[in-house]
Structure 1
Amino acid sequence: MFLIGLQMDISYTKRNLRIASTIAYSGVIASAIFGASVSGFIIQKVKVTSDKYAFAIVLMLLLANSAAPVVIRLATELKFDTSNIGRLAISSSLINEISCALGLFLFIAFANWTKFKLAILSVFLTGLVIIVNKYLTIWFNTNSRNQKYITNSQVLLILLLIMALSMLIEYFGLYCTIPCFLVGLMFPRQGKTTRTLVHKLSFSVHEFILPIYFGYTGFQFDLNVMMTFDRFIAVVVLIMLSFVGKIVGTLVACYYQKIPLEKGVILSFILNLKGHVELLIIDAVPGFKIWWNRDVHNLLLAVIVLNTVIAGPVVSFILRKNEKYFAHKQTTIEFLDPESELQMASCVYAPRNASGQLGLMSAMHGSQEAPTTPYLMHLVELPKKSKTKNLMYQQLEDGDQFSDEKDFGGNAVLEINDSVDSFTAETKYFVHQIKVVSSFPNMYEDVCTRAEDLRLSIIFLPFHKHQRIDGKMEKGKDEVRTNNRNILRHAPCSIGILVDRGCLGFHNLHTADSKQHVAALFFGGPDDREALACSKRIAMHRHLHLTVIRFLPESSMSSHRNDDALQQNDEILMMSMSRSHDTEAAKDKAFIDDFYNRYVTPGQVGYVEKYVKNAEETISALIDIGDIYSLFVVGKGGRGHSTLATDINEEEECPELGSVGNLLASMDFDINSSILVVQQHTHSNKVLLHD
């Protein structure tokens, strides 16, 4: 429960608290009502003779609860934990489980005055551990600046505090589930301490502790307890009521929240998974009265096991049967509402890529109200031969048995981690870190697989060249360029390539005292629309001012729209495109008109139109504005037969940047601005139609 609290997506839960709470409590109430209605029947069938009221309450909690660890594990295994339905299921199960555990905690606490005093003491001790952990984390992070992780002794100290708290609360005769969850939930998220705890605990908990715990529980499962007719009927009735209660409650909540029926069915079954809290409920609490015999215990255990055994495969079957419906759909930004959540990833090959990519993610974060889920993906080349391959366990250096950092990533990992930590400390913007270790020929496959699993809308890649101190661009590894091209070709979402020239401080957005200027170049086509969609997010950043520069053929000036509001401003021009049967031209017109009405008219974004005859005049116009902006955002290509941009370079040095991006990044084009070249996912239209 500490690990679950530590890894909980707090921002998502806050944004969807009303929806998740409605679903969770609707299922709890419906299941509790069904449990209460049949409690007399079950008591009669299993022959409970004492503490019938307490048994009815336990029965209600048993049917109402959802096991968050099992839900999280199932969602991860079926790879829908990053989808909206998966995250909603996880949030709802957490609210459900914590509420049921809190109900049990209060039930025991109010059993007598002594228990109540011990409950108050437990709350005080939990708050004390939370405060101590806060200062310990600051101390450990400060004293581990030249280390990739905090030391094992430091990890042990934190775990000993949590274990001591748990054992003390259990000794009081109370449950430690909620205190441990709260300690993890309130634990500081940034820095090496949290990164180390997640790294150390995830494997041991999921691969060692939980399997042994559930395996031990499975050994107690005895089918002989169901051999009598009365007990068999009792088990069947409880299982049916558990499913019916969750289905009815969840579907009612989903109907109220306008959630589709298919998602409601998935939620109802996944929230019926049972786990460790139910096992705690039916087990005796130390120092508390036991109100049932062993046969009743085994009977309720059978209900818990069979519930999960049935619900898990049903969820898996529904997801695989409706794979297209629950598949990754938001593969572009053009069709994504600027106020909805953006899931994005920035790739880095070396520490020098980190500052630019972090600055870009900060720019895309826009305002504090625009939700984003950022991932920093460290791409590490797999060594041909591992140094620890032939070493015995006792010969491994400290940390090697748990970590591949020494061989995979080297000191680059430390520098990248430090960049992320300082960035998070200054901006309070939490970035999830991922490492992809693979050989370069296969690396793009791993990146694309991660992008699909994380349901990303865009991936940002660093350019294979980097800027030297003298301002010149130096060529990097050829494998990096090849990998970038492979990702561009196979990615399941849009791609942006960042040519980072940090001279104007674009990567220092969080420390800038004055606004920096960003230009979005629009020639037309899907890539330019995607670039302009990215610019919507950038425009909301408080340290950035966006100007859209639209290039139009000089011949189209005669069809300029006569609008009184526009005539009052000589610097801002708007023109309707000539009536054309071309689909892309119609999309460009609709997109730019909508953008103008939303952002230019209120004065949030600047807008300029430049009329040019040919590619030469386009180049001249770009030279004139080259030193004004710290970042240029432009689409890679896809502009049809437009000669304004496609004829700029007959021989492009870097085709992955497109004609305009290649010009801006070339050595001959003397500018200090960074360049972001965006390629829209080619299957976006199919996805939109499918939606």
Structure 2
Amino acid sequence: MSRLPAIVSSEGYVPGVNEPEQMICQYLHMTSSMGCSWLGCNVSAFSLPLLMLQLSIIFIVSHTTFFLLKPLRQSILSCQLIGCIVFIWFVRLDNHLLNELFPESGKLVLDTVANFGFMLHVFVIGVQIDTNILKSVQRHIVLIGFMSFILPYAVCVLCIVPLPNLIELDEFSFRTLPFVAALTSMTTFAAVTTTLSDLNLLNSDLGRLSCSTALVTDSCSYITTLALTTIGVALERSEWRPLNNILYIVCFLLSICFLLRPFVLWMAKRIPEGQQIKESQFVVVLIAVLLCGFLSECLGQNASFGGFTMGMCVPDGPPFGSALVNRVDWMATSILVPAKFAICAFKVNLRSLGGDHVLASAITEVVITIAYLVKFTSNFLLAMYFNVSSQDAFHFAMIMCTKGIIDVSAFSLIRSNEVVTEQGYSLLILNMLLVTGSTRFLLWHFYDPSTRYQSYKRTCILDNEPEDFLRMVVCIHNEDNVPSIINLLQASNPSRNQRIEVITMDLLQLEGRASAILIPSSEVKKIPSAQNRVFQVGNAFNYFMQRNYNSVVVEHFVAMAPYDSMHEDIFTIAINKCANIIIVPFHKRWGIDGSIDATFPGIRSVNLKIMEKTPCSIGILLDRGQIGGPTSVLTRRTEVFHITLLFLGGEDDREALAYSWRMAQHPYVSLLVVLLRPAYADHTPDMYEKKLDSEMVDRFRMECKGRDIFIQQEVAEDSIQTAHLLRAMEEGCDLFIVGREHPPSVSRLTCGLLEWSQCPELGRIGDLLATSTFHFSVLVVQKQPLVRIDYVDEHIAFVK
């Protein structure tokens, strides 16, 4: 190996177009160290080892900061920026360490890699955007979105105009203030959806309003900024040639819309159902992203603009969009994007805010503050004007003031182009972190979308009048849930005197999209990847409706949302349809041999949230084949379908008894009601609850005379005898119904079961029945608790 040079690079200033520019000279072969560390050289002097070291340091700093700030609900992007700013501030205290880790010669390579990763990240953002949102945006949302950018920008410009006559400020600082106002006034769609997704608010009413408005604001801010920037350059240079760029950009966008997008959609349609994207298709899309970025640079735009527009061409959701997101996002967001924040953090100089620049910093801060205040106020007042509640309007205005990675990139770009001053850039970053960070923390701490369900007048089966529809919301997570739920509906005895209104919810996990969807199945064209499944599920329930003509009405809805907030869509439908009960499938699936075949943690999280905040009764259906299999109630004509109800008392058991009574009126259903009482109680029973239980059982005895209904009384001393009793009931039982919670007076019969509890959402009895030692299907019923004062008007009604 040849002797290494003593000087690996040099830097200095040379005359530039407008002012002296920095030039760095480096040897061409200083890329890979090739093991020269064994000869005593500095490995960090080479481009590749230095880049890997820098990316490693940035990754560790970013995720350490995210771990430390996680209790404050800060986003990973904000933590990456905060961590890089703090780390670089400490590194700057030692010039030798700064030159070793981040020499000027290494920043160029890091900046190039960072911009490439940012382009891929923005491409992913474009893929996740549903372009159909713009088609369904209402006029008032367009007005709010437009005013969200124009109004704060206009107010700031009006405040800036008289400044030269009032304050002595250098010309450059004065010229940068309109750009500072414009950057503060804009709201990007990616920042809003990231905030909503992290806080599980995507499919709330607030989330849908914010997403639609942010997309309009983002479009308006880009168009306005592009026009003003181009016109400003033309006026400065006294020539109109730069205006041609607008025409070229329009042609570029039209080519993407009418040439590239149809080609991408054609590729997506060629993917067979149930299969993944091919490697050749992935490579074609990735090359198209690079070409769009190149053309964007040729048009005078940032390469990320081309990546974003290419992302808009890709259909969102599975299989095409989600596959691209999964393959690209982890590398771009986790490894390369933090490097972008490190570059942005290098440009933050807190010392520039003091000294001779105190006045300029103060004026810039005033402009930024005015922009935020006007933006917040305008969004709040306009939302109130269009009948949004004051609480939601306040939170909506806060969300519209949040910013994200695209905003940071815009700040960095205009700083690199010397459009804003150093103190202006630093203040933009600091204010962004303060406003966005406080907004996220306040929303997480104070905003709870479930509060609107607490004031809702809850309904249940027990309160349902005989002449009313029994309104049931049934949730479908996959095709395996359809047979069991349809047979449960058939067992509910739909007839002309006992009509049932079924609202099906086909639930899909949000993948490859930025915004949630809740639509009737007639609009399923908005979700191309789910069309076949939705049609199959709809046909099955429509056939069920035809079999029960004049006694069953079916409506279909499709919801695509994250599992963490999927319950919001279920609650919305349940409230709008005045549902009496929600039926959800259990999160475990059993195989043919009776063992657990699969477990779905996402479904369990949905069930837990529903049981916690449901506005009506809820039933968790655990199907082992008797409900949806070949021996279901639908296929039996001579053999009876046996249902067993365990009644220990309490409002959940009363609700379960009311539902069982409805089932017992089916001609092919036999009901066994087991009244289980403790030999002696450890707690004094609630006399009011005991009275309600007694009245319900007595009324049930009177109504069941002459029907295939059996009442059996049992006594047990402890949970062991309860388990033996349940084991004795297994023979001949097809469906076991039980309430989730029971009064303290019978706790001796169930307390021991808590030691082996695996699924507490089923209650103590239900959790025992969910083990693999039992072989019948189970329905666990929970009635939404009411305030004690409401019990006075509670009546017992059996639907006939």
TM (norm. structure 1) is 0.55
Which of 304, 318, 322 is the aligned partner of 2:428? Answer: 304
> Which SS does the other structure have where 1:294 is aligned?
coil
C-alpha contact (below 8 Å) 2:347/2:426 kept by paired residues: no
| Cα distance in structure 1, aligned partners of 2:311 and 2:459 | 33
Structure 1 residues 483 and 190: CA distance shift in structure 2, 3 A: closer
Please state how far the C-alpha of 1:656 moved relative to its aligned partner. 4.2
> Which SS does the other structure have where 1:76 is aligned?
helix
| Cα distance in structure 2, aligned partners of 1:180 and 1:532 | 58
Please give the residue correspondences for 1:583-594 in structure 2 after superposition, counting only pairs within 5 Å: none
Residue 703 of structure 2 corresponds to which residue in structure 1? 613
Please state how far the C-alpha of 1:196 moved relative to its aligned partner. 0.9
Residue 597 of structure 1 corresponds to which residue in structure 2? none
Residue 390 of structure 2 corresponds to which residue in structure 1? 261
Please give the residue correspondences for 1:432-471 in structure 2 after superposition, counting only pairs within 5 Å: 432=560, 460-462=584-586
Matched, 1:48 2:175: no
Please give the residue correspondences for 1:622-633 in structure 2 after superposition, counting only pairs within 5 Å: none
Please state how far the C-alpha of 1:271 moved relative to its aligned partner. 1.9
Which of 361, 374, 382 is the aligned partner of 2:507? Answer: 374
Matched, 1:130 2:261: yes
Please give the residue correspondences for 1:344-383 in structure 2 after superposition, counting only pairs within 5 Å: 346=476, 353=480, 356=483, 374-375=507-508
Matched, 1:26 2:155: no
Which of 312, 324, 335 is the aligned partner of 1:208? Answer: 335
| Cα distance in structure 2, aligned partners of 1:293 and 1:79 | 38
| Cα distance in structure 2, aligned partners of 1:235 and 1:200 | 42
Structure 1 residues 29 and 116: CA distance shift in structure 2, 3 A: closer
> Which SS does the other structure have where 1:231 is aligned?
helix
Matched, 1:236 2:359: no
| Cα distance in structure 1, aligned partners of 2:190 and 2:400 | 11
> Which SS does the other structure have where 1:617 is aligned?
coil
Structure 1 residues 636 and 91: CA distance shift in structure 2, 3 A: farther
Residue 576 of structure 1 corresponds to which residue in structure 2? none
Matched, 1:75 2:206: no
| Cα distance in structure 1, aligned partners of 2:338 and 2:191 | 11
C-alpha contact (below 8 Å) 1:464/1:476 kept by paired residues: no
Amino acid aligned to 1:617:
R
Please state how far the C-alpha of 1:302 moved relative to its aligned partner. 2.2
| Cα distance in structure 2, aligned partners of 1:82 and 1:219 | 37
Residue 294 of structure 2 corresponds to which residue in structure 1? 167
Please state how far the C-alpha of 1:18 moved relative to its aligned partner. 4.8
> Which SS does the other structure have where 1:374 is aligned?
strand
- Identity score, percent: 13
Please state how far the C-alpha of 1:123 moved relative to its aligned partner. 1.7
| Cα distance in structure 2, aligned partners of 1:294 and 1:422 | 54
Amino acid aligned to 1:123:
L
Structure 1 residues 294 and 2: CA distance shift in structure 2, 3 A: closer
Structure 1 residues 666 and 90: CA distance shift in structure 2, 3 A: same
Matched, 1:150 2:277: yes
Amino acid aligned to 1:214:
F
Residue-by-residue CA offset, 1:251-287 (whole Å, 9 max, x unaligned): 11122123333333333233223345545655668xx
Please state how far the C-alpha of 1:374 moved relative to its aligned partner. 2.0
Residue 318 of structure 1 corresponds to which residue in structure 2? 442
Matched, 1:121 2:223: no
C-alpha contact (below 8 Å) 1:102/1:178 kept by paired residues: no
Structure 1 residues 583 and 326: CA distance shift in structure 2, 3 A: farther
Residue 620 of structure 2 corresponds to which residue in structure 1? 496
C-alpha contact (below 8 Å) 2:475/2:583 kept by paired residues: yes
Amino acid aligned to 1:309:
L
Structure 1 residues 69 and 376: CA distance shift in structure 2, 3 A: closer
C-alpha contact (below 8 Å) 1:45/1:230 kept by paired residues: no
| Cα distance in structure 1, aligned partners of 2:199 and 2:411 | 29
Residue 423 of structure 1 corresponds to which residue in structure 2? 533
Amino acid aligned to 1:62:
L
Structure 1 residues 159 and 235: CA distance shift in structure 2, 3 A: same
Amino acid aligned to 1:222:
N
| Cα distance in structure 1, aligned partners of 2:786 and 2:152 | 42
Please state how far the C-alpha of 1:226 moved relative to its aligned partner. 2.3
Residue 475 of structure 1 corresponds to which residue in structure 2? 594
Aligned residue pair count:
500
Structure 1 residues 487 and 88: CA distance shift in structure 2, 3 A: closer
Matched, 1:273 2:397: no
| Cα distance in structure 2, aligned partners of 1:240 and 1:357 | 58
| Cα distance in structure 1, aligned partners of 2:296 and 2:387 | 42
Amino acid aligned to 1:255:
M
C-alpha contact (below 8 Å) 2:203/2:561 kept by paired residues: no
Please give the residue correspondences for 1:482-561 in structure 2 after superposition, counting only pairs within 5 Å: 491-492=611-612, 493=614, 494-497=618-621, 499=623, 501=628
| Cα distance in structure 2, aligned partners of 1:483 and 1:102 | 41
- Residue range with higher mean Cα deviation, 421-430 or 185-194: 421-430
Structure 1 residues 162 and 56: CA distance shift in structure 2, 3 A: same
Structure 1 residues 8 and 530: CA distance shift in structure 2, 3 A: farther
C-alpha contact (below 8 Å) 2:127/2:312 kept by paired residues: yes
Structure 1 residues 204 and 121: CA distance shift in structure 2, 3 A: same
Please state how far the C-alpha of 1:305 moved relative to its aligned partner. 0.7
| Cα distance in structure 1, aligned partners of 2:227 and 2:293 | 17
Amino acid aligned to 2:330:
F
C-alpha contact (below 8 Å) 1:24/1:92 kept by paired residues: yes
Please state how far the C-alpha of 1:150 moved relative to its aligned partner. 2.5
Matched, 1:94 2:215: yes
Matched, 1:4 2:89: no
TM (norm. structure 2) is 0.49
Residue-by-residue CA offset, 1:645-667 (whole Å, 9 max, x unaligned): xxxxxxxxx964999x9xxx998
Matched, 1:679 2:781: yes
| Cα distance in structure 1, aligned partners of 2:182 and 2:633 | 54
| Cα distance in structure 1, aligned partners of 2:628 and 2:454 | 28
Residue 556 of structure 1 corresponds to which residue in structure 2? none
CA RMSD of aligned residues (A): 6.1
Amino acid aligned to 2:187:
S
Which of 196, 199, 202 is the aligned partner of 2:326? Answer: 199
Structure 2 residue runs of 5 or longer lacking an equivalent are 1-121, 235-239, 461-471, 491-502, 512-527, 539-556, 575-581, 635-646, 667-689, 711-733, 744-763, 792-800
Residue 45 of structure 2 corresponds to which residue in structure 1? none
C-alpha contact (below 8 Å) 2:124/2:325 kept by paired residues: yes
Q: Which has the larger radius of gyration?
A: 2
Structure 1 residues 319 and 489: CA distance shift in structure 2, 3 A: closer
Residue-by-residue CA offset, 1:411-437 (whole Å, 9 max, x unaligned): xxxxxxx99674158689866487xxx
Structure 1 residues 634 and 162: CA distance shift in structure 2, 3 A: farther
Structure 1 residue runs of 5 or longer lacking an equivalent are 364-369, 379-417, 435-446, 469-473, 508-522, 534-547, 553-580, 588-609, 621-631, 642-653, 668-674
C-alpha contact (below 8 Å) 1:463/1:481 kept by paired residues: yes
| Cα distance in structure 2, aligned partners of 1:115 and 1:79 | 41
> Which SS does the other structure have where 1:475 is aligned?
coil
